[in-house]
Structure formats: C-alpha cells, structure tokens
Amino acid sequence: MTESRTTTAAPGAPAGENPPLLEVSGVTKSFGGGRRRLTALDGVDVRLGRGETLGLVGESGCGKSTLARVLLGLERPDAGTVRYDGVDPFALRGKELLNWRRRVQMVFQDPFASLNARMSAADLISEPWRTHPDVVPDAKAREKRIRELLSLVGLRDGDAHRYPNEFSGGQRQRIGIARALALDPDLIVCDEPVSALDLSVQAQVLNVLSELQSRLGVAYVFISHDLSVVRYIADRVTVMYLGKVIEHGETEDVFDRPQHPYTAALMSAAPVLDASRAAHDQEIQLKGEIPSPFDIPSGCRFRTRCWRAQDTCATEAPPLVVRPSEGAGDDHTALCHFPLEARSAWA
C-alpha cells in the first residue's frame, strides 16, 4: 500500500525548485450573477516548468476552456494569481503586455476553421509579425524565417505560396503550429489540436509537437478529451471536474494508479492497447449526467455520480490527499474522502 497524507498544499508544487514558467494559484472565475451565477473555475492550481507538457482533461463544461483563456490572458480571474516567471500578466500594460503576449500562443482544434482560406501559408505564418514587427526586422529575414518554420513542422519551401484548401488536415495543423511558433513562445496552449484529424495523422502531428519541444524547449498545456493522446504527450496530468482540479500528478502515476473515482472511471472507459490490462480492468459506469454548473452539489461535487460516495461526501468538502510520486517529480494529489489505493480497488 502506498503512503498517503492529507494537506492543504497546492497540487503539483514540488519544494525547492526554481520558479516555474507558469504558476496558477487558487484561480476562480464566475460568470453571471444571482441564481444564474456559473462558477467555471473554483480555486484552480496549475504549475508548469519550461519545456514540459501538462495534459488537461475532463468532460466538456469542466472549465478547461475557461482556464485556457485565463492562461492566454484573455479572461481575468475573479480571485487567485497567475504568474509567468513570477510576473502577473494581468498587471502589465502597453509594451510590456505586448511583449508578454508573444510568449504565450495557441494552437486551435480545427485547422479547417482556424486558418483564413484567402491567405497563403507564408501570409498565415507571418501574420503575427504585423503586431510584433521587431521579431523579424526585414523582408529578407522574414522569408528565411518562414522557410525555417515550414521546415520545423515538416513542410517544404514550396508550400509557402499554397493556400489552405491545397493542404490536407494534418498539413493545415502543421501550418497552425508554425504560426504559433512565429513569435518564439515559451508556452503554447494546444486546444484539442488533433481531435479533428484521422488517427494516423494524429500520430504525425503529435510527433511534430514532441520534436519541437525537444528542439526548442517550448512548454505545452495540452487540452484533450482523448486520454490516449494525453498519455502519449503529457509529462503531467491535471483532471478537472465542474471547475475544480480533482486529481493531478505525473502522467504514469495518474494513468496507472488513479486515486480519484472520477479519474478511475475516465481511465476505465478509455480504449486500452494492452490486452492483459483490458482483461483486468472493468469499465466503471458513472451514474447520471454531469450536474449543472449553476447548481453544484454540496460536499464533493462528484458525489451525485460516484460509486464510492458515502454520507460524509454530501456534507463535507473532500480533503486534498497527497501520495508521493512513483517517479522523481510532483506529488500525486486527489480531492477525495475515500481515494483509491491501487487498480485492484476499482471494482
């Protein structure tokens, strides 16, 4: 049995390290008011180092998209803090804000919708330089940089003057990635970047992202509902439910030894390649639908669907349970009164 303890410490906060690239602490964001108040994020903590990938998973409505907008500086939190290298982007103005915006870019889900059909690949990739003209100072340098970016994502020089309708879905997503790289960001928020692509193309695009990370040291926040994709790409995983982080840890820990019943249910429903595991694991059927974010259940917000729920779960907010990582990284944390100890506890 693995040792566990309860604490109020932030998930994913290893002691004694340099300041992380990104640190989100206690971020809360609501929309509307009165009875129509929707709590999209409720005390969310996220931490990410340079060159790392954080997978963000959960059903639709769990708060992933709102969190992405906060990370991009598009949505100001009601409470809590966001820090990039210790700097609060929401306190920046003018040139400082413009410089910060360079550092955080986005790759969108749908490469068909996100690229302007009337712009060539070269125009699309170089468009961010209109707002940041000092990044690549002259026409010659721009041409050279466009060729470099095309090559980085596995496209050819000759592709520069082709238009989106002349590319396949995977190639379009490569253009979207090249465009995100044009401003040399430290962090790219990838919102379901491969879910619109065929399976074989998904693997190619994921490989491009991995290689770019090795070469350039860029960090990713990778949002996906596809757990096999997250397992492949992410160093660490944060699982969200109704606006709260309910589990966080190194990818292998979270996938192989989930502590929270919700995570275990998600994992059990995901396709498994390993036949021995498939025979061992039974799918956990969740009760009912995800509750309305306008009316979040008392105590543990997952209790209305949890097969391990007991009376306490309805009256008391669950504690943060911390289990040391099996690897050398973050502790593995979960919000639960009755966390799972091992896979054998699933059934």
Positions touching ligand SF4 (CB under 6 A) are: 260-261, 300, 302-303, 306, 308-309, 313, 318, 336-338
Q: Which is nearer to ligand SF4, 181 or 286 (CB)?
A: 286
Q: Which is nearer to ligand SF4, 206 or 300 (CB)?
A: 300
Q: Which is nearer to ligand SF4, 145 or 308 (CB)?
A: 308
**8 A C-beta contact, residue 163 and residue 194:** no
CA–CA separation, 136 vs 130, rounded Å? 10
Q: Which is nearer to ligand SF4, 49 or 261 (CB)?
A: 261
Q: Which long-range contacts (CB under 8 A, 24 or more apart) does 210-216 make?
A: 212/152, 212/153, 212/177, 212/181, 213/51, 213/53, 215/152, 216/152, 216/181
Q: What is the CA radius of gyration of the chain?
A: 21
| Cβ at position 303, least distance to ligand SF4 in Å | 4
CA distances from 343 to 220, 248, 252, 264, 346 (A): 29, 17, 13, 8, 6
| Cβ at position 317, least distance to ligand SF4 in Å | 9
| Cβ at position 264, least distance to ligand SF4 in Å | 10
| Cβ at position 239, least distance to ligand SF4 in Å | 11
Q: How many residues does the chain have?
A: 347
Q: Which is nearer to ligand SF4, 166 or 316 (CB)?
A: 316
Hey, how many other C-beta atoms are within 10 angstroms of the C-beta on 273?
Answer: 7
